[in-house]
Amino acid sequence: MTQPNFDTLLARYADLLVHTGVNLQAGGKVRVSAPVEAAPLARLVARAAYRAGAADVRVVYEDAHLALALYEDGQDEAVSFVPEWFSREREAMMDDGYASIAIVGEDPGLLAGADPARVGARSKALAQALRPVSEAAASFRINWTVGAVPTPAWAARVFPELSPEEAVARLWTDIFTVTRADQPDPVAAWAAHTERLARLTDLLNARQYAALHIRSELGTDLTVGLADHHVWQGGAETAQNGVRAVPNLPTDEVFTAPHRERVDGWAVASKPLSARGQVIEGIRMRFEGGRAVEFSARQGEDTLRQLMATDEGALRLGEVALVPASAPVARTGTLFLNTLFDENAASHIALGRCYPTNVQGGQTPETLRAAGGNADSLIHVDWMIGTAQTDVDGITASGEREALMRGGEWVLALD
């Protein structure tokens, strides 16, 4: 049996983003965003969308090097300037029902030398301008998904020991593996996988734990109270427009909303986190009453501090997610330095805004807040705490403990 060649795999991956990722309907419209380096995949995604009967495809190319130029050579006024019309086109697309396929792949360390205060100021200004868009995405108003392309700079960070060509090829191999693009029928494989995740979320939703208790050999000892009427999600989700889509390819997590005032103890990172063009390593953070009261990082602490200074909600959790240590991403043995992948290799938590869909009836900020959700923040930053020696218990309302994970693996029976 011969392996499909690269072009075949790339076309399959494009099909997967269109069909499984956003599940584009005939006559549907779609926005595709991608780094300039990802043009070959973006073109295939456009073709796949047109073949699926798309009424319109808008491709928007992004270039993080322009931000680097701004941070290095721009005036202060330019750094914080966001035109008044900045988000209007994206809002118009949202209103017109455009699905969204976001392709990521920027160099995870591109902005390591930039002034964290400049990066923080601009990131906050952009997040404010895009708030209507990101809130709509968080509440899954339209179907969206995220994929990735190994840019040479990203691949070189992941595999510094390989030649540039080998690094890109190796990262593609890993991406095709964990997205199942290398399987004979990727769409069918995804249907089976999301079905398994649905059974898991059904079980957890039926339990309605008051809290989770997470411990690892690295020092994590964290009790995460869960929001009232919380909903576990994972795999496929039905957007408000009725389309059932898979927001992340790959995805192996099940996740829900913590209670913003009921998180206590230590969280210790098990993997580096790439955020704002900087790799943040060795995070240790202590929570009291839901609020991060002390934290440190071996590398990138300034960036972490900038992130957490965004607003009060940035000091509290908006997500807790459980991922087995044997998940496909973890099995590759690759540290991707990209959250789309690394968060699917380890249980994790996120600082900042929760997903309204993780709380029953949580579609308004008021109801979300009333249930204990962390409704108000401009950020949502996941970071990994799970390991192959992580134990997770569910704690019921009456204080009983039930084992959910032992040694990083599920101990729930999926019948």
The reply to whether 214 sits near a second copy by the rule CB under 8 A is no
Span of 39-47, 119-127, 182-190, 238-246 interacting with a second copy by CB under 8 A = 39-47
The reply to whether 92 sits near a second copy by the rule CB under 8 A is yes
The reply to whether 76 sits near a second copy by the rule CB under 8 A is no
| Cα–Cα dist 246/341, whole Å | 14
Contact 303, 276 (CB under 8 A): yes
Q: Which of residues 381-400 bind a second copy (CB under 8 A)?
A: none
C-alpha closest to that of 33 among 152, 118, 147: 147
Span of 5-13, 37-45, 173-181, 288-296 interacting with a second copy by CB under 8 A = 37-45
| Cα–Cα dist 32/7, whole Å | 20
Binding-residue total with a second copy (CB under 8 A)? 36
Q: Which of residues 148-187 bind a second copy (CB under 8 A)?
A: none
Q: How far is CA 317 from the centre of its chain?
A: 14
The reply to whether 59 sits near a second copy by the rule CB under 8 A is yes
Among 7, 8, 36, 165, binds a second copy (CB under 8 A): 36
| Cβ nearer to a second copy, comparing 83 with 160 | 83
Contact 149, 41 (CB under 8 A): yes
C-alpha closest to that of 229 among 317, 359, 396: 359
C-alpha closest to that of 168 among 182, 155, 149, 153: 155
| Cβ nearer to a second copy, comparing 92 with 293 | 92
Among 22, 57, 239, 254, binds a second copy (CB under 8 A): 57
Stated as kind and residue range, the H or E segment containing 100 is strand 99-104
The reply to whether 83 sits near a second copy by the rule CB under 8 A is yes
Contact 148, 161 (CB under 8 A): no
SS3 of residue 366 by DSSP: helix
* φ and ψ at residue 301, rounded to 5 degrees: -60, -35
The reply to whether 70 sits near a second copy by the rule CB under 8 A is yes
Minimum CB separation of residue 55 from a second copy in Å reads 6
Minimum CB separation of residue 306 from a second copy in Å reads 21
Q: In the sheet that 348-352 helps form, which strands lie side by side, from edge to edge?
A: 254-256, 317-322, 348-352, 380-384
Span of 82-90, 226-234, 238-246, 388-396 interacting with a second copy by CB under 8 A = 82-90
> Which amino acid is residue 242, in one-letter code?
G
Chain residues that interact with a second copy, rule: CB under 8 A: 36-37, 39, 42-43, 46-47, 50-51, 53-59, 61, 63, 65-66, 69-70, 72-75, 77-78, 81, 83, 85, 88-89, 92-93, 96
